[in-house]
Amino acid sequence: MKLSIIIPVYNEINTVQEIIRLVQQEKHEKEIIIIDDCSNDGTRELLQQIKAANVRVFLNDVNRGKGFCLRKGIAQAGGDIIIIQDADLEYYPDEYEILIEKIVEGKADVVYGSRFLGAHRVFHFYHYLGNSVLNMIANITLNTNLTDLMTCYKAFKTPIVKSLVLRANRFGIEPEITAEVFKRGCKVYEVPISYNGRSYDEGKKITWKDFFRCVYWLFRSVLRGVDVGTHTLLRMTLMPNNNIWAYSKIEPFLGNKILELGSGIGTFSKFLAGKTRKVTLTDINPDYMESLKTRFISNPHVSVIKADALKIDEAVGDAKFDTVVAINILEHVEDDAQAIRKLKKIFLGGGRLLLIVPAHNCLYGVFDKNLSHYRRYEKAGLKQLLENEGFFIEKLEFMNSLSAIGWFFTFKLLKRKRMPLSCAVIGDKLIPLAAFTEKYIKFPFGLSLFCVAKVNE
């Protein structure tokens, strides 16, 4: 794997050439991205003399801070893994192998090199105390158990770090990165690294004031939330009853060669990946695809491909499937008739399309809009759409009538823009009651429509 080493620099004339030499000696293929933050001690002039082919130097016109430099470096990075490297000699580049091992093995999305788990210079009690307090606040807030939030040595899968929403310009970037990573449910490892802490006389720049800035950026990032789509997918992981019920609806109709359209982070995919079924998972979001590949990395029956619903026939090539599963996907496609037409091309004879889509146009609100829903569906309209494209309807019914009432109140009347945690938890607790009731009563309304459509040969 190619590494992108990002080195923010400010007044490091005594160490910058040595750290570049040590990074160059490290054995992996790499690019080195250096961002000078308007140094005034001669560092800038040294950097301008570098001629190495794999080194790129960017010069800030004014001093903006470490966070600004990291954002600039991340935007320029083109490797498979991004590593952050300070320009001093506190961290050792010969430990990159330790840092990236879990990512290369497919076990981690992000790895922190912990100064407190490995060999370290016995130094600076008050810095240690500040780190410990900040770690405790972050661990309580994010429900995790990091030992070294503020470590410089962090390694990321490149698509992961490029997807993070980062705004802090100075040392607040460290807790901001951590909050963003854990909000997204990334797999994070800590590994022991060596650390040679330096004194202020030797050039250390972080101060006690940065402790309060870091607390501010930690909470700011936590309260900011993630994008609505990712937020909703993460909420769905907290709704096991809902996911089990949805699977129980489609399970009797599953074949042995399945394609799931829009697999997201794999919350529903895990049910499809049975012992004998061949399952192809699809998505267009690179972050979700990385998550899927990691989740099913050793499953010989599961493959992951990038596929747009409107070009699904091109994405799968000559492959054919006896079942296509699309859970809450069709409403995201602007031309749903074209998508159905494309899907029909990838079926084996007598194949089935299993759909769950949001029901009732009257429930469409700001939350649907934020989720990029083009529509909700009426029963007759969905039936006509499928029949027009050559499908025979085997089963079409409303499901989850109880949640339809809560949805109308929360997202139509109160106009909530995101799914509250309370809605996810309470709604999921009501699923067993809804499932039991709907065995005996077929309500004329529901939160969703469940459809089994067979290719009309």
- Please check whether residues 239 and 189 belong to one and the same domain: no
pTM of the model: 0.65
Could you give the CA distance from residue 307 to residue 154 in angstroms, rounded to a whole number?
Answer: 31
Picking from 206, 224, 242, the residue at the C-terminal end of a domain is 224
In this predicted structure, what is the pLDDT of residue 330? 94
Please check whether residue 245 is in contact with residue 309, taking contact to mean a CB–CB distance below 8 angstroms: no
- Please check whether residues 307 and 348 belong to one and the same domain: yes
C-alpha dist (Å) from residue 287 to 160, 263, 309 = 6, 12, 18
- Please check whether residues 113 and 260 belong to one and the same domain: no
- CATH number, domain at 364? 3.40.50.150
Strand partners, 259: 280, 324
Domain housing 286: 230-455
Picking from 178, 194, 224, the residue at the C-terminal end of a domain is 224
Please check whether residue 329 is in contact with residue 263, taking contact to mean a CB–CB distance below 8 angstroms: no
441: CB partners within 8 A, 6+ apart = none
- The 10 Å Cβ neighbour count of residue 121 is 12
Exposure of 178 in the CB half-sphere (CA atoms within 13 A): 32
Q: Return per-residue pLDDT of the chain as tens, 457 residues.
A: 899 999 999 999 999 999 999 999 999 999 999 999 999 999 999 999 998 999 999 999 999 999 999 999 999 999 999 999 999 888 899 999 999 999 998 889 999 999 888 776 666 677 778 888 988 998 998 889 999 988 989 999 998 898 888 898 988 899 999 998 988 888 899 999 998 876 555 556 667 787 888 888 888 888 776 565 665 666 666 678 888 999 999 999 999 999 999 998 888 898 998 777 899 999 998 878 877 887 888 888 999 999 999 999 999 999 999 999 999 999 999 999 999 999 999 998 889 999 999 999 999 988 888 888 999 999 999 999 999 999 999 999 999 998 888 888 888 888 888 777 777 778 888 889 999 999 899 899 999 999 999 987 6
- Please check whether residues 304 and 426 belong to one and the same domain: yes
Please check whether residue 377 is in contact with residue 359, taking contact to mean a CB–CB distance below 8 angstroms: yes
439, burial (CB in 10 Å: exposed 0-12, middle 13-18, buried 19+): exposed
Total number of domains in the chain: 2
228: CB partners within 8 A, 6+ apart = 367, 370, 371, 417, 418
- Please check whether residues 294 and 330 belong to one and the same domain: yes
- Please check whether residues 292 and 427 belong to one and the same domain: yes
Share in percent of the chain as helix, strand, coil (round to 5): 45, 20, 35
- Please check whether residues 400 and 429 belong to one and the same domain: yes
Could you give the CA distance from residue 414 to residue 91 in angstroms, rounded to a whole number?
Answer: 52
In this predicted structure, what is the pLDDT of residue 347? 92
User: What is the Cα gyration radius of the chain?
Assistant: 26
Could you give the CA distance from residue 357 to residue 336 in angstroms, rounded to a whole number?
Answer: 12
C-alpha dist (Å) from residue 277 to 29, 249, 255, 269, 318 = 39, 18, 8, 12, 19
Could you give the CA distance from residue 35 to residue 6 in angstroms, rounded to a whole number?
Answer: 8
Place of tokens 């807030």: 141
DSSP string across 96-148:
HHHHHHHHHTTS-SEEEEETTTS-B----HHHHHHHHHHHHHHHHHHT---S-
- Please check whether residues 434 and 336 belong to one and the same domain: yes
Identity of residue 326: A
Q: Which tokens is 20 given?
A: 């570049």
Please name the helix (run of DSSP H) or strand (run of DSSP E) that holds residue 36, with its range, or none.
Answer: strand 30-36
- Please check whether residues 206 and 275 belong to one and the same domain: no
- CATH number, domain at 10? 3.90.550.10
In this predicted structure, what is the pLDDT of residue 204? 62
Picking from 197, 224, 251, the residue at the C-terminal end of a domain is 224
- Please check whether residues 194 and 287 belong to one and the same domain: no
Please name the helix (run of DSSP H) or strand (run of DSSP E) that holds residue 182, with its range, or none.
Answer: helix 173-183
- Please check whether residues 88 and 208 belong to one and the same domain: yes
406: CB partners within 8 A, 6+ apart = 423, 426, 427
Could you give the CA distance from residue 91 to residue 85 in angstroms, rounded to a whole number?
Answer: 8
Specify the DSSP class assigned to residue 203: T
In this predicted structure, what is the pLDDT of residue 48? 92
Q: Which tokens is 33 given?
A: 């991205």
Specify the DSSP class assigned to residue 316: H
- Please check whether residues 272 and 187 belong to one and the same domain: no
C-alpha dist (Å) from residue 297 to 100, 106, 133 = 17, 7, 37
Could you give the CA distance from residue 319 to residue 310 in angstroms, rounded to a whole number?
Answer: 16
Could you give the CA distance from residue 90 to residue 81 in angstroms, rounded to a whole number?
Answer: 21
Specify the DSSP class assigned to residue 254: -
In this predicted structure, what is the pLDDT of residue 201? 58
